[in-house]
């Protein structure tokens, strides 16, 4: 009779083990999804950093025309600099998600009095509610 009271105990232990294992697997899968999302965001930040450093590099090697590397500048007489910034902006807009949204496009500003050169890049993935922004500031003086 004593054997009868313990019947099914091994089955219960097995079911509990499967349940705990399943919860662990579900946790690992959700963690993998979070890691992939963070990895993609890291890639976007690296891309934005690359674009910022690229335009800063162009302006640094041509400090006398630093104001020509400003996005939307119509007063620059250096056509090479204007072509470079136009190409830069179109590539940055194409490679960062939703960077073409009005008010969020890549921008470069320059103050000739202080030499402050500011690059701002924004992006937003379609599955995220928040915008991300990368701002890089340096001083370029002729």
**pLDDT at residue 7 in the model:** 66
| 120 within 8 A of 106, measured Cβ to Cβ | yes
Q: Please write the tens of the pLDDT for every residue from 27-85.
A: 999 999 889 988 988 999 999 999 999 999 999 999 988 888 888 766 788 888 888 99
Distances (CA, A) of 8 to 2, 15, 44, 75: 13, 11, 55, 86
Contacts of 65 (CB under 8 A, 6+ apart): 59, 76, 78, 81
Entry pTM: 0.77
């Amino acid at each position: 009779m004593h054997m009868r009271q313990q019947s099914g105990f091994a089955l219960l232990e097995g079911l509990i083990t499967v349940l705990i294992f399943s919860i662990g697997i579900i946790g690992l899968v959700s963690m993998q999804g979070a890691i992939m999302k963070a990895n993609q965001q890291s890639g976007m930040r690296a891309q934005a950093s690359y674009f910022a450093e690229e335009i800063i590099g162009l302006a640094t090697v041509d400090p006398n025309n630093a104001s020509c590397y400003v996005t939307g500048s119509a007063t620059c007489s250096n056509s090479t600099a204007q072509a470079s910034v136009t190409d830069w902006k179109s590539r940055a807009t194409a490679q960062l998600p939703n960077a073409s949204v009005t008010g969020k496009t890549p921008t470069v500003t320059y103050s000739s009095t202080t030499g402050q050169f500011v690059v701002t890049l924004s992006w937003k993935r379609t599955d995220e509610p928040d915008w991300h922004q990368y701002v890089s500031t340096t001083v370029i003086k002729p």
